A = this chain, B = another copy of it.
Amino acid sequence: MNDDKCGCRIIHFQAVADARSASLNRTDYERLAQMFKIMADPSRLRILWALERQEMCVCDIAAFLEISESAVSHQLRLLRGARLVKNRREGTVLYYRLVDDHVKMLTDIALNHIKESND
């Protein structure tokens, strides 16, 4: 029923004010989105799922995914950047593993949601 700075029509001023005061800052949403973006790819999810059971080296992961080692390496870089996986070196071989159980928690909840949504 009125205009705001942004030019949008607002019906419920209080609701908008509440949303604004409870809101995180922009950067936090960007970081959150970045985090979910990392989880939002089938190849990366398959890697993470496999690493929940045991550490694996790059070429084994590539064999498992049936994609090139280069592609795996690119994905592992993203996963490392998001601190979801880390590695240890043994000679020329790099073994990757999960950093913590956040990945498992996230996938469990997401799987539950998907399951319940299909009813």
- Which residues in A have some Cβ–Cβ distance to B below 8 Å? 4, 6, 8-12, 15-16, 18-20, 22-24, 26, 28-37, 39-42, 45-46, 49-50, 53-54, 56-57, 59-64, 66, 69, 82-84, 93, 100, 102, 105-107, 109-114, 116-117
Beta-carbon nearest neighbor of A27 in chain B:
B42
Contact A46 B60 (CB under 8 A): no
Beta-carbon nearest neighbor of A93 in chain B:
B11
Nearest chain B CB to A24 CB, angstrom units? 7
Contact A12 B49 (CB under 8 A): no
Contact A12 B56 (CB under 8 A): yes
Question: What chain B residues lie within 8 Å of A64 (beta carbons)?
Answer: 16, 19-20, 23
